[in-house]
Structure 1
């Protein structure tokens, strides 16, 4: 099995090997076409879904996915408009916004997870050795 390699370019930025990027684009396309989710939206739903019903603070999402608050807010607004998540202020601390999956969001995540697992099995050469 081939391992996914990353390299450090002269600017100090880590880059994935070129063969991984087209593959990620294909996975993104599959998720978009079959489930109406971008790869990024799928990742956000996955983090919220992994909380198993616990409300996830937006700050935790941004930290988990190494994302800016502005970008995360944009993605969450889209997921909320699609009926996949709910965003609410935490009781007792109105400054904290928390995210939970809706019933529809949980179902969409399960379907997308099935697609991603099947896709990854078909591209096993991209999975890290371990």
Structure 2
């Protein structure tokens, strides 16, 4: 796992901010996902197959609409989600996971769980 080049050989636990940054780095390096990408894919997956309005994602993740649009465009370009306007109300944009997105999220979830278990073990040894 990446340690951002630390030369410190003592087993000090990293700060929460550094820990989140390290997890972000793992997700980016291994899966090409930012931490926000991972959170967005996870939120869509929690909808269990139903379409998710972008406004719902924006509210639940406390992101701005413009930031969410930027993230969703990237996920769509990568083939991880589909975005469509709601039939009957073209103002509403909805998203769903693709099969590729589901697989990518499952891999990223395994990485995150493994990383968190290792981090928790490190916290207990300090």
Q: If the length of structure 1 is used for normalisation, what is the TM-score?
A: 0.81
Separation of aligned partners in 2, 1:48 and 1:125? 30
Count residues in correspondence. Answer: 110
TM superposition shift of 1:91? 1.3
Q: Which residue of structure 1 aligns with residue 18 of structure 2?
A: 22
- Runs of 4 or more, structure 1, over 3 Å off, are none
Which structure has greater helix proportion? 2
Equivalent residue in structure 1 for 2:88, among 73, 92, 111: 92
Structure 2 counterpart SS, 1:123: helix
For structure 1, the 5+ residue unaligned runs are 1-17
Separation of aligned partners in 2, 1:33 and 1:102? 22
Asked whether 1:122 is paired with 2:118, we answer: yes
The CA RMSD measured in Å over matched residues stands at 1.6
Structure 1 counterpart SS, 2:82: strand
Asked whether 1:104 is paired with 2:63, we answer: no
For structure 2, the 5+ residue unaligned runs are 1-13
Q: If the length of structure 2 is used for normalisation, what is the TM-score?
A: 0.83
What does the per-residue CA deviation read over 1:7-57, in whole Å, with 9 as the maximum and x for residues that have no partner? xxxxxxxxxxx8101111100010001101000100000000111111000
> In 2 relative to 1, CA 124–80 (structure 1 residues): closer, same or farther, beyond 3 Å?
same
Residues 20 and 126, structure 1, Cα contact 8 Å, conserved in 2: no
